[in-house]
Chain A
Amino acid sequence: MALVTPHIMGTAETRKKLPAILDEFRKHGAEAEPVYIGSYRHADALLIPAALAAKIAPLLEDVMIAERAKARLAESFTPVSGDELVARLGLDEADISAETAALLAELNITA
């Protein structure tokens, strides 16, 4: 990891130097230096060679999957079974059967 603060190019400078930057990317591939773009010493974007993007894409995917998995593992509730919920709601099985038949008829589904 670079310890030196990267040079941040403004949009005007980037626009002007873009052909040269692309030449560098073509010449050095994944080894070419990334270009930070932003303003007032604050980087808003990072321009990297397509070859480097292809290399790190699987890593980024792993990070995204890990974050998704972490969020799903954080789900902490104890589900209630359907039977228990129906009993708690005090619903009559005959009413549910009649409603199921009505729904099937409405949706044109054969039981």
Chain B
Amino acid sequence: MSAPAGRKWRAHPAVEKDIERLGEDDPRLKVRAVALLDLLADGKVAGEELKDMAFYGDLSDCFKFYFGITGGAITHRIVYRTLADGGIEIVEAIAVEEREEGYVYLLASHRLGRLPDTAKKAFNRAHQKVIARRGAIRKAFRQRPTK
């Protein structure tokens, strides 16, 4: 089935990889993130407003929405903002990441070019940690016993 034109949301180019990665954890999470963006853009659900956070940077024009898989824990966060595009309000996804340790806020702030200098070290540390963890998960997956 082809995608219907006219979705009222758009995303930072790196969000594609964010959502792609969700599929590595659980293929349904990938679909869920897109479904959630559709609902946010349709105004069926709304996230919680973020603030100008001294550590993470100014995300006061952004919102967060938690999600996870049905019956499971709330494991992920979408950070998005709403913009006026030719008179139409449009949702723009900035980052979709794990809920853990506020990494998603650092990532969103970095992608918007608002990461304070004081948080750059913390961002690099958190980023390396996330990459290492993902690498370990992939390695464990490759080395899983096969029948």
- List the interface of chain A (C-beta within 8 A of B): 68, 71-72, 74-83, 85-89, 91-96, 99-100, 102-104, 106-107, 109, 111
The distance in angstroms between the C-alpha atoms of A94 and B34, with both chains bound, is 12
Instruction: Report which of A68, A77, A87, A103 forms a contact with B36, defined as CB distance below 8 A.
Output: A103
The listed residue with most A CB atoms (<10 A of its CB), out of B8, B12, B61, B111, is B12
Given A99-B35, A104-B44, are A83 and B6 neighbors across the interface (CB < 8 Å)? yes
Partner of A85, one of B2, B11, B39: B11
Please tell me the number of chain B residues within 8 Å of chain A, measured between CB atoms. 38
Chain A, residue nearest B27 (CB): A95
Cα of A67 to Cα of B9 in the assembled complex, Å: 27
Main secondary structure of the interface of A (DSSP, over half): helix
Residues of B within 8 A of A (CB): 1-13, 15-16, 19-20, 28, 30-32, 34-39, 41, 44-45, 58, 61, 70, 92, 111-114
User: Closest Cβ of chain B: how far from A78's Cβ, in Å?
Assistant: 7
B10 adjacent to A81 (CB under 8 Å): yes
Contact A109–B3 (Cβ < 8 Å): no
Q: Which of B10, B61, B92 has the most CB of A within 10 A?
A: B10
Determine the chain A residues whose CB is within 8 A of the CB of B1 once the complex forms.
92-94
What residue of chain A has the Cβ atom nearest to residue B83's Cβ?
A79
- Closest 10 CB pairs between A and B? A82-B7, A99-B35, A79-B10, A100-B35, A93-B1, A82-B9, A99-B31, A74-B113, A86-B3, A83-B7
